[in-house]
Amino acid sequence: MQRNASTLYPILLVHGLFGFDSIGKFDLFHGIRQALRNAGAQVFIPFLSATHSNEMRGQQLLEQIDRVLAGTGARKVNLIGHSQGALAARYAGAVAPDKVASVTSVSGPNHGSELADCLRKALKPGELPEYIAVAASTLFVEFLGYLSGRQQIPHNAIAALNALTTEGVALFNEQYPQGLPSTWGGQGAQIVNEVHYYSWSGTLQGPIWKEGLNALDPLHTFCRGFSQFFDREAGQNDGMVGRFSSHLGTVLRSDYPMDHMDSINQTAGLVRSGIDPVDLYLEHAERLIKQGL
């Protein structure tokens, strides 16, 4: 069946921590941008700092929204943010609602990440492990920049880590509460200041030996390992973000059988069965069309 993703407003896929738009022919949103374009959407991937605070990345996003609006003649954009990209998208929607038609959080840590909490506790400020982690992060970000051929933009690993903790996101939420649920695990307002809010995410499900070929995916193995650091949402997380922590606006579903990287189709298209991450984006584009967005 021919899919229709020709939304009224352009779609911006906003990457999260250590993200990028593409390296050579390799897209971070693997197969997603092309599938949306093939179905008629105008799609862009903003280039944001791989590591930095939510506000800094949100401000960078606003600047690129202006470029998209100027280049396309559109009045607004639809933002779909993965992981920390959801927080940048929320910032843009809150600060410039006249330029944003919708904000969709995909596996976004909208109430913080317990994994980030554990890392923050382990990397005590001013001590050697933190210095080592910062140095390693800086080298990795610079390596990504070299591979992508992009000019370096500011990055700050500690600002990113602090921004993703439960405490850090709580402070962010005090300033930008649009779309947040009033109760833990609930749904938030669908429309705030004429901006539509949506979210979806996944959880690790069952033992790894029942995952088939997906058990051989190294990214899935990492997510399985990271999931052991969750307490409040033990057994209800995707390896990096808790299920209920991801809720924002209209919660389409928060227990898809996907890990954190599956939600941008990283290796999932090769080894995962039972769910097609790309199709979720196409379905959402059709949803946005029905809302006149």
Residues taking part in catalysis = 83, 238, 260
CA-to-CA dists, residue 109 to 43, 182, 193, 211, 280, angstroms: 24, 16, 22, 25, 19
Q: Rounded to an integer, what distance in angstroms lies between the CA atom of residue 194 and that of residue 26? A: 35
Return d(Cα 51, Cα 58) in angstroms, integer: 12
Q: How many residues does the chain have?
A: 293
Q: Contact, 30 vs 266, CB < 8 A? A: yes
For 40, 135, 194, 220, 235, the CA distances from 100, given in Å and listed in that order, are 20, 36, 9, 33, 34
User: Which is nearest to 277 in space by CA: 290, 291, 267?
Assistant: 267
Going by the DSSP 8-state scheme, the letter that residue 126 receives in this structure is: T
